[in-house]
Structure 1
Amino acid sequence: MTQTGNANDTTRFDTIIRNGTIVDGTRSPRFRGDLGIRDGRVAAVSRSPLDAERADRVLDAEGLIVAPGFVDLHTHYDAQIQWDPYCTLSGWHGVTSLVLGNCGFGFAPVAPEGRDRAMLSMSRVEAIPFDSMKEGMLWDWVTFPEWLDSLERMPKGVNVISYVPVGPLMIWVMGLEEAKKREPTAEELAEMCRLLEAGLDAGACGWSVQRLGDGFTSVQRDFDGSPMVTDCMSDETCFAFADVLKKRGGGHIQITQAKDDFREDLKFLAKLGERSGGPILFNVVAANNYHPHQSKRLLEWAEDCQKRGIQIYLQA
């Protein structure tokens, strides 16, 4: 992309957006200007008017903000995108790309006989109406790679990418009840890692998990009031999944972590980042009127991790 305004420039554009207030995402002050788009990309940004004769189409953005699309890193549109291609309200408010499969929650792999139970879980933990899922979900997949294929076929008004949510992996391999009360055997863990690899090979950007324990921090529970499958999974299981990313040399981890001891949580997250070698997206940092120092200390901790080469990023 170039900054341009040269009257002698004869570059052709598919579209020119004129007279907009440009907010370019670089933290620079907004300014009035024109954009030239070629081959689906922003090819020029100009504070001076671009010649309308250089474009096949000219759009007047007078009185409007022109900005890059927002990327929503944390959504639970896994069901809704199947009947709402714009993922409203996000798509209405400038979100052009979003991430599915957060918190270890999702719908793949899910066997046909487990579909209703998977939807019941999401009806409580993410407040998605069961009837809407029952009527609107396509269910033309079983495995995670097949789910990505289904996503590819769906008409979409936004770009999407997905984590492999580890909850469905555990249920697929161990069964729902067993996954809630014990650790996987070595053979079961190896199979889950194999399925994770298959999901990453198919195009997933990493894996996700929620670990809220079974105490006072367990605020996102299953349909029956019990903890979610991943809430009580061990550090060792998480590290095994992190090792998959380390071996591949890439991939993100999104983790919602809040167990009984916050200091121990932070130690675990730093170690998880070291084991995976990749970015950790941690939920959540939030301003707190009663304890305003907490968010500041969390930011300082993340900065310290960065200095040590551990890629910790906080989600608000």
Structure 2
Amino acid sequence: PWNWETFPEYLDALEGLPRTVDVATHVPHGAVRAYVLGEREKPGAVPTDEDVEQMSKIVEDGLKAGALGFSTSRTILHRSVDGELVPGTTATKEELIGIGRAMGRAGHGVFEMASDLQPEWKEFEWMGDLSRETGMPVTFAALQSIAKAFPLDEQIAQMRAENAKGANIVAQIALRGNGIVMAWRGTVHPFISHPSWTTIAELPWEDQYAKLKDPAFKAQLLSEKPMV
């Protein structure tokens, strides 16, 4: 039943559920950001200082109630059912460090992140600063992917460079390949970055379907290479 609103109340609800294995939780950035910003939440939205303070308090309370840490997504691959980037994807360094400091006040926690590691975001720089300031471990999803701006070996090299300066950044390495459900009407499919697809990407499905049935459009789509 939906009988909770705050994260401590959510943990109480989990406690009351029957289970055969133990569970652990992170406070999710997306839910916290959407809760605080409300209708203002959208890709590129910059929260006020008061917003960051409120988000930080929610995260701090969640950790004190029993959460293991905090998680955020900064990859364009994670989207809502409407195709929008999930809340937090475009968060600024100031927002992330503000939340991280709240975790430091709580006295424990892991700061977890999935990111495309775009160079202009300087992810390793702020992860290192946050870890050194708070003493917390910061972990990121390290993998070889076309969505990543850096190859895996460079990700590890940048992590080690920050750790050599006193940070505690830990790479999460997948032990097996992950699966993705692809569909024309899903968030990802093999032609999503082909030039021809981008010309119809925003059309209603009925119009997209008509174009896909067009032999000329199909031939053009199959002849192209992805733009990324």
TM-score, structure 1 length as denominator? 0.49
2:131 maps to 1:273: yes
| Structure 1 gap ranges (5+) | 1-137, 213-217
- Partners of 1:263 and 1:231 in 2: CA distance: 11
Of the candidates 3, 8, 11, which is equivalent to residue 148 of structure 1?
A: 11
Cα distance between partner residues in 2 of 1:265 and 1:189: 19
The Cα of 1:242 is off from its aligned counterpart by 1.0
Contact 2:131 2:138 in 1 (8 A): yes
| Alignment of 1:307 onto 2:164 | yes
Structure 1 contact 242–275 (Cα < 8 Å) conserved: no
In structure 1, the partner of 2:56 is 193
Corresponding residue for 2:22?
159
**Kept in 1: contact 2:128–2:163 (CA 8 A):** no
Q: Tell me: CA distance 1:313–1:154, structure 2 relative to 1, closer, same or farther (3 Å).
A: same
| Partner SS state of residue 157, structure 1 | coil
Among 235, 240, 243, which residue is 2:93 paired with? 235
CA contact (8 A) 2:97 2:130 kept: yes
- Cα distance, 1:211 vs. partner? 1.4
Please say if 1:296 is aligned against 2:158. no
Contact 1:244 1:276 in 2 (8 A): no
Which of 1 and 2 has greater Rg?
Answer: 1
Distance, in Å, in 2 between the alignment partners of 1:151 and 1:224 is 28
Q: CA deviation at 1:152?
A: 1.2
Provide the rounded CA distance (Å) in 2 between the counterparts of 1:313 and 1:146.
30
Offset at 1:206? 1.6
- Please give the alpha-carbon distance, in whole angstroms, between the structure 2 residues aligned to 1:189 and 1:295: 32
1:242-290 deviation digits (Å, cap 9, x = unpaired): 111223332110011215327823223222323432001101234x79x
Residues 237/262 of structure 1: CA separation in 2 closer, same or farther (3 Å cut)? closer
User: For the aligned residues, what is the CA RMSD?
Assistant: 2.4
Q: Within 1, Cα distance between the matches of 2:151 and 2:79?
A: 25
Q: What are the ranges of 5 or more consecutive residues in structure 2 without an aligned counterpart?
A: 174-228
Bigger strand fraction: 1
Residue 114 of structure 2 aligns with an amino acid whose one-letter code is T
Count how many residue pairs are aligned between Structure 1 and Structure 2.
170
1:285 aligns with 2:143: yes
Report the AA paired with residue 223 of structure 1.
V
Partner AA of 2:41 in structure 1: A
Q: Which runs of 4+ in 1 moved over 4 A?
A: none
Residue by residue over 1:67-90, the C-alpha shift from the partner in whole angstroms, topping out at 9 and shown as x without a partner, is xxxxxxxxxxxxxxxxxxxxxxxx
Is the alpha carbon distance of 1:276 and 1:257 closer, same or farther for their aligned partners in structure 2, counting shifts above 3 Å? farther
2:23 match: secondary structure: strand
**Paired residue type of 2:143:** V
Aligned to 1:171: 34
| SS at 2:140 equivalent | strand
> For 1:13-32, what aligned pairs fall within 5 Å after superposition?
none
Pairwise CA distance, 1:223: 1.6
> Which position in structure 1 is the counterpart of 2:82?
224
1:298 is displaced (CA, Å) by: 2.5
8 Å CA contact 1:193–1:241 kept in 2: the answer is: yes
CA distance in 1 between partners of 2:4 and 2:52 (Å) = 23
- Contact 2:29/2:71 (8 A) holds in 1: yes
Are 1:184 and 2:47 an aligned pair? yes
Tell me the distance in 2 between the aligned counterparts of 1:251 and 1:278.
Answer: 7
Task: Give the aligned residue type for 2:165.
Answer: R
Q: Which residue of 1 aligns with 2:71?
A: 208
Q: Measured at CA, do residues 187 and 303 of structure 1 come closer, stay the same or move farther in structure 2, by a change above 3 Å? A: closer
Contact map agreement 2:124 2:159 (CA 8 A) in 1: no
